[in-house]
Chains A and B, each alone.
Chain A
Amino acid sequence: MTVLAVAAPAVVMILAVLLIVLALVFFLVSTIVALRRIAAGLDEVITGVGEIVEKSAPVNDVVKAINEQLDAGVDALEGLLVKKAGLGDAMGLIEGAYPGAAAAGLRNFPDSAEVDSPRIGETYTRGTLTLARLGREAPIAALSPHGAVLRNVEGGSLAARALYPDVRHTSPENLPNSPAIGAGAPEQYERREDIGAPRKRLPGRRP
């Protein structure tokens, strides 16, 4: 009887410990499974990140080289434009090609934003035909940027005339005819009789 009385709480304790161990096993095994899934997912992440790092490794140097090349091109073009047209006319050309762009100024010419640029159609004459022959990208081609390319080796100067907002080059048939002389002239003038005739009075001799 005493043995049974002592054994009863011991059995209950064994059962309790057994329950605790079962709970530990269940939850720890579940945790292990979840952690293994996490590890597998992180392996995939590491693979993807490794590819990203590998693919993006040369991007910095390449973009830097491209920017250097473009900077050099911009410097050269700005310098050439200002050298050939002067700062004022250069800003006028830019404003004519891209309205509002002159306000930003040129990168290598800090004073260019403050230049009072002229209207290119009024002032710029020197070298415009040569510039216009260069094609659609020439600043002077702002008048017809959507038309055909103006570069024409055989008739470049004639094509360049279309750039100017002048009616003479766009509709010459509507202009009045030039004055004509001769028998077939539209207007005949009366001939003076005294022209070519003998003098009526000889010039007086000086004493």
Chain B
Amino acid sequence: MTLWWIGDVVLLLVILPVVVYLLRGVLQAAQSIVPSVTEISAVAARGSEDLDAAPLLLRTKQQVTQTIAGVADYGGSLDVILDDAEGDRS
């Protein structure tokens, strides 16, 4: 009978507080992650919006290609109409 009471006391004063303490720690850890995940989600969405202009790089590429082609034509014309430098002529 005495052992039974001792078991009850241990259960109420030791086991129950330990279980509550551990579960509360797990709950707090899980709840602390929620705001971080929410912020990361918002950042990812903004990062995705920032890259909306990325397809414009294709247009930039086309324009650079056209510009370089113009420069090549321009340089070719200069090469024809201008004499070479003195030291380069032989």
Q: A residues touching B (Cβ–Cβ < 8 Å)?
A: 5-6, 9-10, 12-13, 16-17, 19-20, 23-24, 26-28, 30-31, 34-35, 37-38, 41-42, 44-45, 47-49, 51-52, 55-56, 58-59, 62-63, 65-66, 69-70, 72-73, 76-77, 80, 82-86, 89, 126-127, 130-131, 134
List 15 additional contacts besides A10-B4, A16-B12, A48-B43; criterion CB under 8 Å: A9-B4, A16-B11, A20-B11, A26-B23, A27-B23, A27-B24, A31-B30, A58-B55, A62-B57, A70-B64, A73-B71, A83-B84, A84-B78, A84-B85, A86-B88
Please give me the residue from chain A that is nearest to B52 by CB atom.
A55
CB-defined contacts of B64 to chain A, threshold 8 Å: 66, 69-70
The answer on a CB contact under 8 Å between A80 and B75 is: yes
The answer on a CB contact under 8 Å between B44 and A30 is: no
Q: List 18 A-B contacts (CB under 8 A).
A: A9-B4, A24-B19, A24-B23, A38-B30, A38-B37, A41-B37, A42-B41, A48-B48, A52-B44, A55-B54, A56-B51, A66-B57, A76-B71, A82-B85, A83-B79, A86-B87, A126-B83, A127-B83
Distance A49 CA – B64 CA, assembled complex (angstroms): 30
Please give me the residue from chain A that is nearest to B13 by CB atom.
A16
Distance A180 CA – B7 CA, assembled complex (angstroms): 134
Residues of chain B from 40 to 88 with CB closer than 8 A to chain A in the complex: 40-41, 43-45, 47-48, 51-52, 54-55, 57-58, 60-61, 64-65, 67-68, 71-72, 74-75, 78-79, 81-88
CB-defined contacts of A51 to chain B, threshold 8 Å: 44, 48, 51
Distance A30 CA – B26 CA, assembled complex (angstroms): 10
Distance A79 CA – B58 CA, assembled complex (angstroms): 28
A52-B47, A56-B51, A59-B57 known; A41 vs B88 contact (CB < 8 Å): no
How far, in Å, is B61 (CB) from chain A's closest CB? Answer: 5
How far, in Å, is A113 (CB) from chain B's closest CB? Answer: 18
A41 interface neighbour in B19, B41, B48, B86, Cβ under 8 Å: B41
The answer on a CB contact under 8 Å between B40 and A45 is: yes
CB-defined contacts of A63 to chain B, threshold 8 Å: 57
The 4 A-B pairs at the shortest CB distance, nearest first, are namely: A48-B44, A27-B23, A41-B37, A86-B85
Please give me the residue from chain A that is nearest to B10 by CB atom.
A16
How far, in Å, is A177 (CB) from chain B's closest CB? Answer: 37
Please give me the residue from chain A that is nearest to B40 by CB atom.
A45
The answer on a CB contact under 8 Å between A38 and B34 is: yes
